[in-house]
Chains A and B, each alone.
Chain A
Amino acid sequence: MTRTQLVGLLSAIFLFVAIYCVFSFAEIEMTMLEVQKIFYFHISSAFTLFLAFGVTFISSILYLIKRTDKYDTIAYVSTEIGIVFGIVVFTTGPIWARFAWNTWWNWEPRLTSALIMWLIYIGYLILRSTLAEDKKRVYSAVLGILGFLNVPIVYFSVELWQGGLHPDTSTKMNLPPTMQTAWLISWLALTLLYLFLLMLRYHGEQMKLELETLQHQQMGEL
């Protein structure tokens, strides 16, 4: 069993446990009732989104320092997966908002800053796909760093732009123990899922590279 498969299996098991915890183990919250169960995967996806873009940031820096293609691939792949998690956040968010606040969207700081960040990294992917092959890696690394530097500034400015509707982090810590467990487990499960997808995509990118070198070899022989 390879490492990737092991992580995949682990993430599958944890997703399994997480779903059990969310639907059968965690108690039903009093104000939102069943709808509150969206929270577990919504928040965990948001955390994973930030984790993914954080990984992009760090591996972009490492790439600029060490110039190993590995870091560039990780940055690229992590961005892509972060965007998938972003789609989850931005589709479950409105469903929650529609029930809780009776609107599909509100300009709440955390939501807005996550959206801006998401847009930045979509721009990163679009620009990367059009860059010349030899410049691609350095340029994407520069963009990856610039994009992440924006996060705190975006967050603080959006926070003052509009007072928040999301509960404070402190209230999140006061969840009843069963909810807390369910939340932690779903967070862990999604982090593992992220790791699994990251490894899978990384492997895929390496296959692509191998394919390209082989093709070059064949072209050379012809």
Chain B
Amino acid sequence: MHKGLWITVLIAFALFFGLFLLSQIPVAITQDEVSTAVSDAIAETNAQVDEVEVEQLVAEKAAEKLEARQKRRLKFLVSAYFIIWLIFSLYALHLAKMQNQLHKRLEQLHDGLQRKE
């Protein structure tokens, strides 16, 4: 029963977390963010040649930068939640193991007592 519970929770966690990551990674960088980053970059470069191609390149660079930053943030988030769940599941496993052993020994003792009677 308890083990089943834990597996359910773990699966649920993996499911939601996976969904979150999948939904966040490509979409989280909004068009607004990209355009502000682009305009920032353009302002920085002071480039006079305003060809479409250059703008494209700058946009790609900016998106890359944003993605790298997001990757770093997600690394923190993933490691934190990984650790939380690792601790809880290790403790739960430890408990389950202990409980099972106790159960076994109790049953053995009960059996022994009954046989004597």
Which residue, B8, B20, B84, has most C-beta atoms of chain A within 10 A? B84
Interface string of B91-117 (1 = CB under 8 A from A): 110010011001101100110110010
Chain A CB within 8 A of B48 CB: no
Expressed in whole angstroms, the minimum distance between the Cβ of A38 and any Cβ of chain B is 4
Expressed in whole angstroms, the minimum distance between the Cβ of A204 and any Cβ of chain B is 5
Interface string of A21-53 (1 = CB under 8 A from B): 001100010000111011001100100000000
User: Closest residue of chain B to A1, judged by CB?
Assistant: B1
CA distance A165 to B9 in the complex (A): 34
When distances are taken between beta carbons in the complex, the residues of chain A under 8 Å from B28 are 28, 34
Which residues 45-104 of A sit at the B interface, judged by CB distance below 8 A?
45, 84, 87-88, 91-92, 95-96, 98-99
Chain B CB within 8 A of A16 CB: yes
Chain B CB within 8 A of A149 CB: no
Q: Contacts A87-B87, A99-B73, A201-B95 known; A20 to B103 CB distance under 8 Å?
A: no
Chain B CB within 8 A of A207 CB: yes
Chain A CB within 8 A of B79 CB: yes
When distances are taken between beta carbons in the complex, the residues of chain A under 8 Å from B20 are 23-24
Secondary structure class of chain B's binding surface, majority of residues: helix
B102 touches A208 (CB 8 A): yes
Chain A CB within 8 A of B43 CB: no
Expressed in whole angstroms, the minimum distance between the Cβ of A169 and any Cβ of chain B is 22
When distances are taken between beta carbons in the complex, the residues of chain A under 8 Å from B98 are 204
Chain B CB within 8 A of A221 CB: yes
Q: Contacts A37-B77, A84-B87, A207-B99 known; A8 to B2 CB distance under 8 Å?
A: yes
B19 touches A24 (CB 8 A): yes
Query: Which listed segment binds B: A106-114, A125-133, A173-181, A209-217?
Result: A209-217
On chain B, the number of residues with a Cβ less than 8 Å from chain A's Cβ atoms is: 40
Expressed in whole angstroms, the minimum distance between the Cβ of A199 and any Cβ of chain B is 11
CA distance A24 to B88 in the complex (A): 22
When distances are taken between beta carbons in the complex, the residues of chain B under 8 Å from A37 are 77, 81
A12 touches B8 (CB 8 A): yes
Q: Contacts A24-B19, A96-B80 known; A16 to B12 CB distance under 8 Å?
A: yes
CA distance A211 to B80 in the complex (A): 39
When distances are taken between beta carbons in the complex, the residues of chain B under 8 Å from A34 are 24, 28, 70, 73-74, 77
Hey, which bits of chain A sit against chain B, CB under 8 A? 5, 8-9, 12, 15-16, 19-20, 23-24, 28, 33-35, 37-38, 41-42, 45, 84, 87-88, 91-92, 95-96, 98-99, 193, 197, 200-201, 203-204, 207-208, 210-211, 214-215, 217-218, 221
Hey, which bits of chain B sit against chain A, CB under 8 A? 1-2, 5, 8-9, 12-13, 16-17, 19-20, 23-24, 28, 70, 73-74, 76-77, 79-81, 83-84, 87-88, 91-92, 95, 98-99, 102-103, 105-106, 109-110, 112-113, 116
Pairs A–B under 8 Å by Cβ, sample size 14: A8-B1, A12-B8, A12-B9, A15-B13, A23-B16, A23-B20, A24-B16, A41-B81, A92-B84, A96-B80, A193-B88, A197-B91, A207-B102, A215-B109
